[in-house]
């Protein structure tokens, strides 16, 4: 099988994805400005979360916030496959034109919001059922803001938080803290498509919403 040209649109897991060198991406970058916080491509940890959601599908119309969304492929996947109501959040507003380009190509709608993790308001968090994010804990300086977001989200009633990462030290530090404080689960995962990749899922179910035989408590 011949290798696709570097500028060819690829269909991965049912989504059309523009490669960074595609003319439409380059034109968008020239017009809107390049992303400033690593939002220059699709990062692989999003695929770990896609696999998990395939095995544990959210109910239709689940409200899902993708933090550090970048191009928003995970949000689009949830919208297209699970009919979720999605909100893509990123501190870098320059990623949103790229998200919108992909949303248009894939015929889905994703709302967007520019915000740092720790600045997301409780009122907005309270409207979410689930928070997801891949490759978002890559600096030591991100551990505290992410922990603040997790604590605020759980207090606001978010049912489940899923964060994926290849296993960088800041992510593992965050995972250890969440396991201790919130009984979070750290799960090793791997994918084979679009290529082989290994990593981890941090899954935090809201301790205040533990399921019992009679339903949520």
Count Cα neighbours of 168 within 13 Å in the Cβ-side half-sphere: 16
Q: How many angstroms separate the CA atoms of 161 and 66, rounded?
A: 10
Range 37-216 classified under CATH 3.40.50.150: yes
Between the alpha carbon of residue 121 and those of residues 23, 151, 158, 186, 206, the distances in Å are 37, 12, 13, 27, 18
Identify the three-state secondary structure at position 188.
strand
Model confidence pLDDT, tens digit, residues 121-146: 999 999 999 999 999 998 999 999 99
pLDDT in tens, 10-56: 898 999 998 877 888 777 776 666 555 554 557 789 999 999 999 99
Nearest to 72 by CA among 105, 36, 34: 105
Contact call for residues 161 and 128 (beta carbons, < 8 A): no
Entry pTM: 0.87
Task: Please give the residue that has the higher pLDDT: either 200 or 8.
Answer: 200
Q: Which of 110, 114, 157, 117 is closest to 133 using CA atoms?
A: 117
> What pLDDT does 37 receive?
57
Q: What is the β-pairing status of strands 130-134 and 111-114? A: unpaired
> Is residue 20 within 8 Å of residue 27, measured between CB atoms?
no
Domain boundaries defined on the chain: 37-216
61-66: long-range contacts, CB 8 A cutoff, minimum separation 24: 61/85, 62/129, 62/130, 63/87, 63/127, 63/128, 63/129, 63/130, 64/128, 64/129, 64/130, 64/131, 64/132, 65/89, 65/125, 65/128, 65/130, 65/131, 65/132, 66/131, 66/132, 66/133
Produce one character per residue of 40-77: b if its CB has 16 or more CB atoms within 10 Å, e if not: bebbbbbbbbbbbbeeeebeeebbbbbbbbbbbbbbbb
Structure tokens at 169: 């030290």
pLDDT in tens, 149-188: 999 999 999 999 999 999 999 999 999 999 999 999 999 9
């Amino acid at each position: 099988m011949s290798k696709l040209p570097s500028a060819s649109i690829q269909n991965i897991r049912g989504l059309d994805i523009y490669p960074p060198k595609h003319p439409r991406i380059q034109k968008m970058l020239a017009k809107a400005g390049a992303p400033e916080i690593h939002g220059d491509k699709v990062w692989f940890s999003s695929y770990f979360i896609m696999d998990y959601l395939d095995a544990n599908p959210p109910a239709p119309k689940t409200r899902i916030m993708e933090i550090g969304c970048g191009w928003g492929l995970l949000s689009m996947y949830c919208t297209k496959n699970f009919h979720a109501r999605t909100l893509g959040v990123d501190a870098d507003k320059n990623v949103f034109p790229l998200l919108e380009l992909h949303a248009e190509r894939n015929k889905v709608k994703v709302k967007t919001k520019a915000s740092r993790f720790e600045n997301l308001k409780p009122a907005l968090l309270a409207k979410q059922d689930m928070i997801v994010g891949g490759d978002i804990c890559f600096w030591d300086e991100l551990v505290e803001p992410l922990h603040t977001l997790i604590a605020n989200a759980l207090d606001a009633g978010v049912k489940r938080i899923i964060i994926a990462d290849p296993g960088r030290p800041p992510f593992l530090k965050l995972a250890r803290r969440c396991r201790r404080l919130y009984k979070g689960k750290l799960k090793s995962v791997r994918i084979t498509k679009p290529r082989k990749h290994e990593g981890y899922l941090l899954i935090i179910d809201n301790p205040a919403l533990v399921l019992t035989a009679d339903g949520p408590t």
